[in-house]
């Protein structure tokens, strides 16, 4: 097997995140990720505009309920990908390319299998799930039509996200941007064609929007796989390396051990969101539609925090793998400062231009518009605190600490957020639901800061399966042995 080039040489879009100025490296890594996240949110917003304009508030409310459920399904398998990405980042930091490929291949196998199972269960039990959410009767059938097609897209969309995460773990945040753009162009472009049945396309209504998403994810995934192989990117699997998709028992234990708590964090978020949807649904179709629109706005507001958190996590993982603990604290500080500045600007823009932005989704005379403005004014600023949590959790997870963030998130979402929503509703009415968001975020970031400062996360070991260490040890003493880390 050929000896790879050092990870920081000759690869388009990649960055060595273990040397050089931290602030500029963090920003240059985060910007393509931010652009990718903005494109993803823009795609959802454009699709919501098509649905709202062509099919009205009833269909828009249906997609809002269905998208929350998809986030729940996504959460069930997302943790495996995040765990593998941490291993990829640490391996890349210590120049162990073979370990990165093993982790990447293992994640592909696990995520593919899990997403197929989840998609099948979701398709089967979609009516029961919507009923449990108290989905309004007038939105039930559109939501079911939309949701079942979206479930078919889950395996392709999960693998696409996984590959994006793996590439970022090696310092490449540019390649995911181009293929996210491809996915968005196809999805947004095909939405009106399949909803309204223009030209040779069938008129599918709300199911057409979901079908456009399905096609876009499959095409983008196939194109990305072809690109990785053609450009021979470091995480490509070929020849004997294809067996990495059937993971070893050690890697399975490691990915499951770290991935299940991370997935549980996502499940806490999504079940909290589902509980909130259940409360929102009891306030009528206009409030449901308004909440769905504001969620579109929040998608943009949280994108800087998500991008900075991903950049911080990738940088921290590589530096931990390289033994550069002196840089980890500085990475955290830079991430927090960037979050306040960039997320703060996003919040200010959304609150300043809320009428014009909300008016893109529904007519200016719609009764849902003032409700959406009220929700945005009360809750949007809390995403600055959310961003601080993303940075702190990103750093501690980079060293494999997953149980502390899970406990913190559980406390802030249920005893705090859901408790505030229920307890204050008799006093504030529907506004209690919106105030629960900044209340939960405040507790979340406070506990995350305490865990970062005093928690035991720094004592964690590098994520290297024992059997891989044994293989590497034999290779080091056997002439012509296995792949050695580049230096």
- pLDDT exceeds 60 at position 484: no
Question: Are 111 and 162 a contacting pair, CB within 8 Å?
Answer: yes
**What does the alpha-carbon distance between residue 467 and residue 234 come to, in Å, rounded to a whole number?**
22
- pLDDT exceeds 80 at position 237: yes
DSSP 247-262: --HHHHHHHHHHHHHH
Question: Are 272 and 409 a contacting pair, CB within 8 Å?
Answer: no
- pLDDT exceeds 70 at position 120: yes
For residues 387-397, give the mean pLDDT.
95
pTM: 0.78
Residue 474 covered by a domain:
no
Of residues 431 and 364, the one with the higher pLDDT is 431
Is residue 34 helix, strand or coil?
helix
Written as six digits, the tokens of 219 are: 């095409």
Give how far the C-alpha of residue 363 lies from the chain's centroid of Cα atoms, to the nearest Å: 31
- pLDDT exceeds 90 at position 79: no
Residue 455 covered by a domain:
yes
Is residue 243 helix, strand or coil?
helix
Total domains in the fold of the chain: 1
Residue 190 covered by a domain:
yes
For residues 85-96, give the mean pLDDT.
86
**What does the alpha-carbon distance between residue 412 and residue 446 come to, in Å, rounded to a whole number?**
10
- pLDDT exceeds 70 at position 127: yes
pLDDT above 90 coverage of the chain, percent: 35
For residues 317-324, give the mean pLDDT.
90
Of residues 75 and 311, the one with the higher pLDDT is 311
- pLDDT exceeds 80 at position 332: yes
**What does the alpha-carbon distance between residue 162 and residue 225 come to, in Å, rounded to a whole number?**
12
Residue 366 covered by a domain:
yes
Q: Cβ–Cβ contacts within 10 Å for residue 355, how many?
A: 12
> Alpha helices, DSSP H only, in 56-136?
57-93, 97-132
| Phi, psi angles (nearest 5°) of residue 465 | -55, 140
Residue 2 covered by a domain:
no
pLDDT above 70 coverage of the chain, percent: 87
Span 423-474, pLDDT tens digits: 999 999 999 999 999 999 999 999 999 999 999 999 877 666 555 544 443 3
Question: Are 28 and 15 a contacting pair, CB within 8 Å?
Answer: yes
Residue ranges making up the domain that contains 424 = 22-462
Residue 303 covered by a domain:
yes
For residues 282-290, give the mean pLDDT.
88
| Nearest CA among 255, 244, 253 for reference residue 79 | 255
**What does the alpha-carbon distance between residue 229 and residue 232 come to, in Å, rounded to a whole number?**
5
- pLDDT exceeds 90 at position 131: no
Residue 111 covered by a domain:
yes
- Give the position of tokens 């024992």: 466
Residue 481 covered by a domain:
no
For residues 163-186, give the mean pLDDT.
91
């Amino acid at each position: 097997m050929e000896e790879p080039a050092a990870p920081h040489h000759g690869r388009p879009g990649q960055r060595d995140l273990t040397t050089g100025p931290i602030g500029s490296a963090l920003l240059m890594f985060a910007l393509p990720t931010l652009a990718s996240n903005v494109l993803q949110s823009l795609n959802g917003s454009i699709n919501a505009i098509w649905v709202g304009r062509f099919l009205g508030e009833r269909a828009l409310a249906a997609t809002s309920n269905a998208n929350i459920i998809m986030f729940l399904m996504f959460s069930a398998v997302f943790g495996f990908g995040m765990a593998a990405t941490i291993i990829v980042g640490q391996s890349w930091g210590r120049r162990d390319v073979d370990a990165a490929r093993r982790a990447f291949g293992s994640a592909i196998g696990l995520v593919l299998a899990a997403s197929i199972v989840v998609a099948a269960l979701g398709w089967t039990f979609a009516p029961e799930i919507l009923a449990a959410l108290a989905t309004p009767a007038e939105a039930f059938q559109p939501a079911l039509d939309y949701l079942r097609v979206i479930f078919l897209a889950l395996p392709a969309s999960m693998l696409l996200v996984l590959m994006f995460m793996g590439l970022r773990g090696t310092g490449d945040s540019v390649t995911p941007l181009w293929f996210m753009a491809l996915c968005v162009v196809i999805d947004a472009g095909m939405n009106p064609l399949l909803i309204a049945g223009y030209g040779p396309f069938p008129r599918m209504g709300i199911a057409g929007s979901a079908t456009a998403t399905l096609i876009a994810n499959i095409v983008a995934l196939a194109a990305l796989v072809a690109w990785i192989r053609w450009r021979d990117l470091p995480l490509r699997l070929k020849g004997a390396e294809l067996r990495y998709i059937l993971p070893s028992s050690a890697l399975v234990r490691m990915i499951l051990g770290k991935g299940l708590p991370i997935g549980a964090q996502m499940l806490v978020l999504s079940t909290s969101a589902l509980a909130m949807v259940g409360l929102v649904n009891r306030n009528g179709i206009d409030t449901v539609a308004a909440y769905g629109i504001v969620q579109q706005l929040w998608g943009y507001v949280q994108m800087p925090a998500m991008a900075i958190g991903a950049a911080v996590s990738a940088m921290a993982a590589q530096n931990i793998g390289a033994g550069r603990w002196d840089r980890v604290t500085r990475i955290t500080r830079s991430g927090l400062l960037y979050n306040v500045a960039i997320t703060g600007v996003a919040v200010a823009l959304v609150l300043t231009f809320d009428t014009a932005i909300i008016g893109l989704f529904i007519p200016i005379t719609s009764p849902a518009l003032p409700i959406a403005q009220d929700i945005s004014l009360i809750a949007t600023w809390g995403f600055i605190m959310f961003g601080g949590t993303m940075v702190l959790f990103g750093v501690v997870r980079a060293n494999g600490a997953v149980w502390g963030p899970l406990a913190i998130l559980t406390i802030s979402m249920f005893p705090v957020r859901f408790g505030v929503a229920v307890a204050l509703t008799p006093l504030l009415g529907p506004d209690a639901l919106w105030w629960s968001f900044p209340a939960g975020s405040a507790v979340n970031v406070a506990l995350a800061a305490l865990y970062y400062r005093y928690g035991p996360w720094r004592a964690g070991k590098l994520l290297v399966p024992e059997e891989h260490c044994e293989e590497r040890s034999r290779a080091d003493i056997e002439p012509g042995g296995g792949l050695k880390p580049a230096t």
